[in-house]
Structure 1
Amino acid sequence: MTTINIPNAYPVELSPPDLSTYAKGSDGVPYIWTFDSGAPGPHAMVSAIVHGNELSGAIAVDWLLNQDVRPSAGKLSFAFMNIAAYAAFDPGDPNATRWVDEDFNRVWDVAVLDGERDSVELRRAREVRPVLDTVDFLFDIHTMQHLAPPLMMSGRHAKSKALAARIGVPERVVGDHGHAAGRRMRDYQEFDDPASPKTALLIECGQHWEAASEDLAKLSAVRFLEVVGMVPQGSIAVGGLPEARQRFFTVVEAVTIESDSFSFAREFTGGEIITEAGTLLGHDGDRPVVTPADNIMLVMPSMRLWKGQTAVRLAREDD
């Protein structure tokens, strides 16, 4: 177990909804509710609280369930994932409950899931895995440590960037390979297979506790449901965002911490575009970390600067 001891620099503008009413689940898996239209079609899932302190996803999924959203074709699942971490959320120390024992979003390698390692998060992952195995389209709602422009994380294959383009928000879409520390849920099995039609997206709706993250979580989830054919377009009333041309980026380097001492050269919050190659970003022990090319965007610089973790990802805009 890794203790998360990070001071909070941002106001907590959101309140976590009470999810106890969803505890039994619809089909025996706690906190997962699946609705079958009875008509042919894909199985889509909207998931939330993979990290227990990321409130906007819980708010958005609770909002959709309270509106009795049902699929017009196929199946639709709403899932609250790391419920143990969420239940421990404390607005007085909101960084402490990202997880209980380990990061739920780093355990989705089959060898790990089938292995002997044990944790609160692995037990829950194994519990929800049979449902996830049946999902064709996954939309996983997250938020970020810093106040920065929202991002759609599309993974490394064109199929997911294409789905992100159909959804149309947020402005920035980032293709990436994930993290050296472990596989994310959005990269599980066929979601990460270019030959499979199964597709997953992970949206970062803004800073963890900013009010605007709730609005984007709701809007993006509704647009996802529309484009994968779960609900008719315009059937769920939701506020919009100013229209903006989407920009597509691809991660060219993930800076994984190799030493026991990593520090950034200055305060970065994410979304900065560094115009000159060779610009100093920080030091991994004695090793300088610099931008590998011109016009590099910083993707979610971390406060969790521990050996083996991703300090920051470096992305370039697609041609």
Structure 2
Amino acid sequence: MTASGPSGSWPVELQAPDIERWRAGNTRIPFFTTLDSGTDGPHVMVTAITHGNELCGAIVLDAFLASGKRPRAGRLTLGFCNVAAYRSFDPAYPTLSRFVDEDMNRVWDRSTLDGRRSSVELARARAIRPLLDTVDMLLDIHSMANPVPPLMLAGSCDKGVALARKVGTPASIVTDAGHAAGARMRDYGVFNDPSDPRAALLLEAGQHWAAGTLPVAREAFDRFLVATGMLDPQDVPAAHRAAPPPQEVIQVTEAITARGRNFAFVADYLGAEKIERAGTVIAHDDGEPVVTPYDNCILIMPSRAPAPGQTAVRLGRIVDG
């Protein structure tokens, strides 16, 4: 099966696992399971399918739960987030199951969670929230619409970058303040507080359905568990404990939010393009030019048809690496 992409069609090479066997869990939140080592240590959480059509995280969590492995210290919680959207995944129409009512990764600010608005995604986020409040370190596994190099999104605090460096992969760490349309789970509460040691990461492992995305997610998952003390290095494959290549930090300086209904890029950008000259027009927003603010500007995760108020693209530059 294929799905339309800006430069052609991206084949659906991954198979969505049946996660029904993990419905009961043991946290009173369906599809969330906590594995307790019985010894002191942090509470670490790894989540998947915050977007229902992003399969790699579901495959990784399903395999770990089936393996019977336990954390060496503390508690490890594994959770499947937007199960309602995931259930509707159809490889013939793989873009349609991203969410049911709204993007679940834009509802994690306190005003939205405490507000009166309702949706399938908000109800699920509100159910997960009490458990999230007990977490010391979070990895939320995602994938991307286009086949571009993987990214680790570390938020705007130094602690996020420090945790990403401890994990060691992927090679690009992105620091950013999130989206105007709403907060990601990675940005929730204490994770975005520089005075609190609790930290969160968001992995963008590669193109949603590409076979090559899965090993990226597996390695980052293994390295995250080792970095947080959930596993010892000998618990993971040798390749996942070898010294990783150097990392670079890309600082997002500006998130371009679509204002009008006719936002269009001037070229078929996929992401990770480096635009050499400041002032280069990269898009038009209802006819108004959108230009790069500095030399060697990196385009991060451009959206093909953003609605007004949604992030069209993030602009970044390398600050370390």
Q: TM-score range by the shorter chain?
A: over 0.9
TM-superposed CA distance for 1:64, in Å, is: 1.1
Task: Specify every segment of 5 or more residues in structure 1 that has no aligned partner in the other structure, as ranges.
Answer: 1-5
TM-superposed CA distance for 1:243, in Å, is: 4.2
2:160 corresponds to: 160
**What are the within-5 Å matches in structure 2 for residues 123-138 of structure 1?**
123-138=123-138
Alpha-carbon contact 2:263-2:305 (below 8 Å) kept: no
- C-alpha separation in 1, matches of 2:295 and 2:201: 27
Q: 1:225 to 1:243 in 2, by over 3 A?
A: closer
1:71 corresponds to: 71
TM-superposed CA distance for 1:27, in Å, is: 2.1
2:288 corresponds to: 287
TM-superposed CA distance for 1:215, in Å, is: 0.5
Give SS of 2:178's match: coil
Alpha-carbon contact 1:145-1:303 (below 8 Å) kept: no
Alpha-carbon contact 1:301-1:311 (below 8 Å) kept: yes
TM-superposed CA distance for 1:238, in Å, is: 6.7
TM-superposed CA distance for 1:219, in Å, is: 0.7
Q: How many residues are treated as equivalent by the alignment?
A: 314
**What are the within-5 Å matches in structure 2 for residues 278-317 of structure 1?**
278-317=279-318
Give SS of 1:21's match: helix
Q: Deviations over 1:174-215 (max 9, x none)?
A: 000100000000000000000001000001000000011110
Q: Deviations over 1:282-305 (max 9, x none)?
A: 001121001100111110001242
1:40 corresponds to: 40
1:86 corresponds to: 86
Give SS of 1:155's match: coil
**What are the within-5 Å matches in structure 2 for residues 124-273 of structure 1?**
124-237=124-237, 239-240=239-240, 243-273=244-274
TM-superposed CA distance for 1:35, in Å, is: 1.4
Alpha-carbon contact 1:251-1:316 (below 8 Å) kept: yes
Q: Deviations over 1:258-316 (max 9, x none)?
A: 11110000000001111111111100112100110011111000124211100000001
Q: 1:281 to 1:114 in 2, by over 3 A?
A: same
Task: Specify every segment of 5 or more residues in structure 2 that has no aligned partner in the other structure, as ranges.
Answer: none
TM-superposed CA distance for 1:25, in Å, is: 1.4
- Identity between Structure 1 and Structure 2 (%): 49
Give SS of 1:258's match: coil
Alpha-carbon contact 2:4-2:10 (below 8 Å) kept: no
Alpha-carbon contact 1:176-1:250 (below 8 Å) kept: yes
Counterpart amino acid of 2:22?
Y
Alpha-carbon contact 1:215-1:239 (below 8 Å) kept: no
TM-superposed CA distance for 1:36, in Å, is: 1.5
Runs of 4+ in structure 1 deviating by more than 4 angstroms, as ranges, are 238-243
TM-superposed CA distance for 1:166, in Å, is: 1.1
Counterpart amino acid of 2:152?
M
- C-alpha separation in 2, matches of 1:51 and 1:238: 31
Counterpart amino acid of 2:304?
M
Q: 1:272 to 1:224 in 2, by over 3 A?
A: same
Alpha-carbon contact 1:147-1:206 (below 8 Å) kept: yes
- C-alpha separation in 2, matches of 1:111 and 1:117: 10
1:52 matched to 2:52:
yes
Give SS of 2:79's match: strand
- C-alpha separation in 2, matches of 1:238 and 1:80: 27
Give SS of 2:218's match: helix
